[in-house]
Amino acid sequence: AQSVTQPDIHITVSEGASLELRCNYSYGATPYLFWYVQSPGQGLQLLLKYFSGDTLVQGIKGFEAEFKRSQSSFNLRKPSVHWSDAAEYFCAVAESNFGNEKLTFGTGTRLTIIP
Amino acid sequence: DTGVSQDPRHKITKRGQNVTFRCDPISEHNRLYWYRQTLGQGPEFLTYFQNEAQLEKSRLLSDRFSAERPKGSFSTLEIQRTEQGDSAMYLCASSNRLSSSYEQYFGPGTRLTVT
């Protein structure tokens, strides 16, 4: 069965600083990978996804992520964070077996932005 | 397109009572998923429907849980004889299986508190 590890429970960065959130996955086949963001009281919003092709994917709100098969990683990056980026971030992998795209999520990384 | 909606947003119930939640997916989406999210964890898959057929249930879904999707439109999730361990956020998501993007769109969730 697939699994996702987000090793950082909580990260604090200064506004304007760069950000990298780590994600490692375990899945036998080619994974479908996602990053979601969850703000308090809000549902999960998709930031970006990777299925195939270019390993560097661009998403909304200035985020990008790079798929590295050799490291089983899909880290999320942003060159300059804004106070509005404070939220919980979840990495997820889709099980594509028989066309069921149920998602397996990591435990999340809470991002705090300091002025 | 008004997005995925869930009702109620919050539910407080006493142990042993039954509760029912409703999810209205995006209108053209034929797949509907239920997830459960406890504090400090990522969402965990419970079950999913393709149209009106329930195609998979997680081992997390005990016999006290039942989900339906009559006519392939809205879905309900019922929990019978609630226990304190059922306290969680219940998330609904929908996707369009005919689309190649495999994106799941999430609702705002129903927060259940069992006292």
What does the pLDDT look like over B15-50, one tens digit per residue? 999 999 999 999 888 899 999 999 989 999 999 999
List Cβ neighbours of A84 (8 Å cut-off, separation of 6 or more). Answer: none
Q: What is the DSSP string of B27-85?
A: TT--EEEEEEE-TTS--EEEEEEETTEEEEE-TTS-TTEEEE-GGGS-EEEEESS--GG
Phi, psi of B52 (to 5 degrees): -95, -5
The nearest CA of chain A is from the CA of B84 a distance in Å of 21
Chain B CB within 8 Å of residue A67 CB: no
Among A70-79, B5-14, B91-100, the least confident range: B91-100
Mark which residues 82-101 of B lie under 8 Å from A by CB. Answer: 91, 93, 95, 97, 101
B76 pLDDT above the threshold of 60: yes
DSSP state of A30: P
Task: Give the per-residue pLDDT at B110.
Answer: 97
Span B47-75, pLDDT tens digits: 999 999 998 899 888 899 999 999 889 99
CB–CB contact A92 B103 (8 Å): no
Chain B CB within 8 Å of residue A40 CB: no
Task: Give the per-residue pLDDT at B101.
Answer: 64
Overall average pLDDT of the A37-42 stretch:
87
CB–CB contact B91 A105 (8 Å): no
d(CA B104, CA B93): 6
Chain B residues with CB-CB distance to A105 below 8 A:
42-44
Span A11-36, pLDDT tens digits: 999 999 999 999 999 877 778 899 99
* Cβ proximity of A88 and A110 under 8 Å: yes
A95 pLDDT above the threshold of 90: no
Task: Give the per-residue pLDDT at A99.
Answer: 58
